[in-house]
Each structure stands twice: as structure tokens, then as C-alpha cells.
Amino acid sequence: MREYFFIADTSLAKDLTEGILAEDLPSMQCNGISVDARVQLYSLLTSSRLDDSYKMEIPLLASYETNPAYYQLDVNLVSTISQIDENTAELIMKDWLATKDLEEITSDDTDPNDFLFSLIHFCQIATNETDLGIFLLSET
């Protein structure tokens, strides 16, 4: 399964689900960081219940139950992530690395530290510019 986050103007959300390739936009690969592992991270970042954290990857209606599927990260989550400094990120990383979903990842391509710091950088870009959002493309 190929999954990656990308930055796009929120007005493009409809176009994305109509076949415009997200590959042409600034992106970062998830490299084996599963939805369950990402939700663990979201829960740690927002102090939300795990069940509520699954709702932070919001399916775009036009792509729901299609392949590929597109999601938009919750704007409050993007804002929260964008404000994380390096020291806080390191503390969160320690807790995240201890979660079962992240412990089960055995891929050599997967670097949770790189993933977290890239996601923070993406969120900072999205919050510094108006009308930008963080989206996820998931091909199963």
C-alpha cells in the first residue's frame, strides 16, 4: 500500500478526487507508518482518545471508498503539529516509539523520527500560508 501526505490549496480538494495527480505537489511518503501508528501519534499530540484520533484523517467525500482515496488532516491537528518545537518532538517521539503499532514496523525504509519532523515541517508550511492544507493519498 502506498500512502503519502502532500500540501495543496484547499480549493484543490475537489480536483484531487477527480483525478488530478497529487504526485505533482510537495509530498512526503509514509514509508510504512500505518494509519494505526499515525493515529497513535495524533492521540499523543492532541491528548485525544484513540477512537477520536481516527477521525483526524477526514475522508474527502468524492473519494470515499475509491482507490486511491484522499483524506484531509484536521485543521486543528495541523495547527497543533505546526507549533511543536524540537524538544517537544523528542519527548513525543519517545512515547510514540513505545506504542505497539510503531514497534511492529520492521521496514528498513521506515524512520519515525524523519516522518515526525517532516510532518511538523509540512504543517508549518500549511499554517504559514493561507488556504493550504495537508492531505493524504492512500492507494490500496
pLDDT in tens, 31-83: 889 899 999 999 999 999 999 999 999 988 655 566 778 899 999 999 999 99
**pTM across the whole model:** 0.86
Whole-angstrom distance, CA of residue 56 vs CA of residue 72: 8
Confidence of residue 84 (pLDDT cuts 50, 70, 90): very high
Whether the Cβ atoms of residue 42 and residue 77 lie closer than 8 Å to each other: yes
Q: Which helix (H) or strand (E) holds 5?
A: strand 2-9
Give me the count of residues in the chain.
140
Confidence of residue 127 (pLDDT cuts 50, 70, 90): very high
